[in-house]
């Protein structure tokens, strides 16, 4: 058997295996003997059909069945002899059998990169900070009142303190409807500063049930353009906000705040927490990004695809019926997220390398500290959190990565930079439903199975063995008692 390896880069390879007929013949002979026991041909008893007749009538089919089976064996033998450790699923690229001569098999496979992280200490980074202002707290207090507003149907809006429900159809210049540009039951907050002023002006002059054609002017940078639309007012509601009193503050917070002043203090502290977490996440992303930038290497294609497979599964889980929409463009999605998947894969290798180089280990005290922090916010006993975290590889990995990030931060040169421009982060109000907990940061503890479960097994397609954690967090004490 002759083996040739063509490496596209450090992790992507193609192995060409050339097997002479003399090495294939023992496998063929064994298969003929096995098949001869079951082949029935008129004029011969079962198991008594001459071998030359079997070869003449069934030889091609039997030999191709053997080839499909032994191709895996030859590939496995080749990688074991060379101490290769494929990651992911090897893919059969080509198989060419010339009867009586030789078999040629080409297999594409990936290997782990040899990564030794460097330049991860002494990084010079900026960390944004934010000082809360009375104006921000005022906005949040206003948002809290709006979350408890009441609506009353009226015939006409006297001022902008109204909510108007409309149907709107965009029109061509000649007044005909634009296809696909109709919005029904659209809610228009007349006081919304981002709402078209032309639309607001028109609605202030209309009654419930009235409809008309209007012109709406849109400003884009240094130019503007006008569109025609047909609107129908379906409902007009006057907005009434509750009064901010001590009684309201106590009811809104479930007794945590007894006065308006205490509620303001709570809002202030919550804003500080949100900004701190927002900039902490941004700093950690910058930290990881800098390390990835300083360490260039190739990552296995199979791992990149596996990471994207995980994300596709997450998209499915979020859809009704857990099925992708009919118009979901899979190819566009995968291509669009590919750079992020490559970034994630690189960080996985760098992360593991730094942990190994620095001897960073997960201690019981790390788990207990994490459980103590989370138990208060989640309303779950610390002991239950400790038991859960220790039983979940996903969460122990998360805690270990948090410890790594703390190590890297402690070894960086950090300059705190104040940023009092709230528009830079788009932070929304903290009133009910407005907590901005959505995370667009990179997944620092993303993990995949690197145990080479498919080592030596060749498949004519991509791997679909992405790790899918089924770990569920324990219920809070309050939830478990319901």
The 3-state secondary structure of 149-210 reads CEEEEECECCCCCEEEEEEEEEECCCCCEEEEEEEEEEEEECCCCCCCHHHHHHHCCCECCC
**pLDDT tens digits, one per residue of 333-347:** 999 999 999 999 999
Question: At 192, which CATH number?
Answer: 3.10.50.40
Pseudo-torsion of CA 198, 201, 205, 208, nearest 10°? 80
* Reported confidence tier of residue 445, pLDDT bands at 50, 70, 90: low
More confident call, 329 vs 49: 329
Instruction: Check whether residue 107 and residue 12 sit in a common domain.
Output: yes
More confident call, 373 vs 456: 373
Residue 91 lies in a domain: yes
Residue 93 lies in a domain: yes
Instruction: Report helix angle 364-378 to 382-391, nearest 10.
Output: 130
User: Helix and strand tally (H, E) in the chain?
Assistant: 12, 11
Which residues are 108's β-sheet partners? 14, 91
Residue 119 lies in a domain: no
Question: At 29, which CATH number?
Answer: 3.30.70.1050
Instruction: Check whether residue 37 and residue 103 sit in a common domain.
Output: yes
Calculate the average pLDDT of the chain: 85
Residue 428: what pLDDT?
Answer: 43
Instruction: Check whether residue 15 and residue 87 sit in a common domain.
Output: yes
Instruction: Check whether residue 87 and residue 186 sit in a common domain.
Output: no
Residue 373: what pLDDT?
Answer: 86
Instruction: Report helix angle 301-317 to 330-358, nearest 10.
Output: 120
* Reported confidence tier of residue 161, pLDDT bands at 50, 70, 90: very high
Mean pLDDT of 90-118: 91
Residue 351 lies in a domain: no
Instruction: Check whether residue 13 and residue 95 sit in a common domain.
Output: yes
Give the Cβ contact number of residue 233 at 10 Å. Answer: 21
Domain count, the chain: 2
Residue 140 lies in a domain: no
Mean pLDDT of 174-195: 93
Instruction: Check whether residue 20 and residue 85 sit in a common domain.
Output: yes
Burial of 165 (0-12, 13-18, 19+ CB in 10 A): middle
- Among 132-146, 216-230, 274-288, the minimum mean pLDDT is found in 216-230
Domain ranges, residue 234: 150-240
Residue 30 lies in a domain: yes
- Among 14-18, 56-60, 315-319, 331-335, the minimum mean pLDDT is found in 56-60
More confident call, 119 vs 56: 119
Give Cβ neighbours of residue 283 (< 8 Å, ≥ 6 apart): 125, 127, 128, 409, 414
**pLDDT tens digits, one per residue of 224-246:** 889 999 999 999 999 999 999 99
The 3-state secondary structure of 55-109 reads HHHHHHHHHHHHHHHHHHHHHHHHHHHCCCCEEEEEEEEEEEEECCCEEEEEEEE
Residue 264 lies in a domain: no
**Residue-wise burial string across 116-154, b where 16 or more C-beta atoms lie within 10 A, e elsewhere:** ebeebeebeeebbebebeeebbebbbebbebbeeeeeee
* Reported confidence tier of residue 41, pLDDT bands at 50, 70, 90: confident
Three-class secondary structure of residue 3 per DSSP: strand
Percent of the chain's residues with pLDDT above 70 = 84
């Amino acid at each position: 058997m002759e083996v040739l390896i063509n490496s596209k880069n450090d992790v992507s390879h193609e192995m060409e295996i050339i097997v002479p007929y003399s090495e294939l013949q023992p496998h063929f002979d064994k298969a003929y003997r096995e098949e001869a026991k079951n082949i029935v041909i008129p004029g011969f008893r079962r198991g008594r059909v001459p071998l030359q007749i079997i070869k003449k009538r069934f030889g091609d089919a039997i030999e191709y069945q053997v080839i499909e089976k032994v191709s895996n064996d030859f590939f496995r033998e080749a990688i074991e002899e060379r101490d290769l450790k494929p990651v992911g699923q090897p893919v059969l690229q080509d198989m060419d059998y010339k009867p009586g001569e030789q078999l040629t098999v080409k297999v594409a496979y990936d290997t782990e990169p040899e990564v030794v992280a460097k330049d991860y200490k002494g990084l010079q980074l900026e960390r944004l900070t934010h000082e809360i202002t009375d104006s921000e707290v005022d906005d949040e207090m206003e948002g809290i009142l709006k979350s408890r507003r009441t609506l009353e149907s009226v015939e006409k809006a006297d001022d902008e303190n109204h909510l108007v429900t409309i149907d709107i159809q965009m029109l061509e210049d000649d007044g005909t409807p634009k296809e696909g540009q109709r919005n029904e039951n659209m809610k228009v907050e007349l006081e919304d500063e981002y709402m078209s002023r032309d639309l607001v002006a028109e609605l202030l002059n209309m009654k419930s049930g009235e409809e008309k054609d209007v012109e709406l002017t849109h400003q884009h940078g240094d130019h503007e353009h006008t569109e025609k639309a047909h609107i129908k007012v379906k409902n007009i509601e006057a907005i009434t906000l509750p009064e901010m009193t001590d009684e309201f503050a106590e009811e809104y917070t479930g007794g945590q705040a007894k006065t308006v002043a205490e509620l303001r203090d709570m809002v202030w502290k919550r804003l500080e927490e949100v900004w701190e977490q927002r900039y902490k996440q941004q700093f950690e992303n910058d930290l990881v990004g800098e390390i990835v930038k300083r360490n260039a290497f190739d990552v296995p294609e199979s791992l990149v695809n596996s990471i994207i497979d995980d994300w596709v599964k997450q998209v499915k889980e979020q859809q009704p019926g857990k099925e992708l929409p009919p118009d979901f463009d899979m190819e566009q999605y995968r291509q669009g997220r590919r750079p992020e998947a490559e970034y994630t894969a690189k960080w996985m290798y760098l992360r593991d390398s730094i942990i190994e180089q620095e001897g960073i280990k997960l201690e019981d005290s790390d788990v207990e500290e994490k459980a103590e922090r989370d138990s208060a916010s989640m309303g779950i006993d610390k002991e239950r959190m400790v038991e859960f975290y220790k039983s979940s590889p996903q969460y122990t990995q998360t805690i270990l990565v948090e410890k790594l990030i703390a190590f890297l931060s402690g070894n960086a040169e950090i300059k705190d930079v104040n940023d009092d421009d709230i528009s830079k982060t788009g932070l929304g109000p903290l009133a009910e439903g407005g907590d901005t907990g959505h995370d667009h940061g990179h997944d620092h503890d993303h993990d995949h199975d690197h145990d080479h479960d498919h080592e030596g097994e060749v498949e004519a397609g991509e791997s679909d063995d992405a790790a899918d954690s089924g770990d569920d967090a324990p219920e809070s004490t309050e939830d478990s008692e319901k």
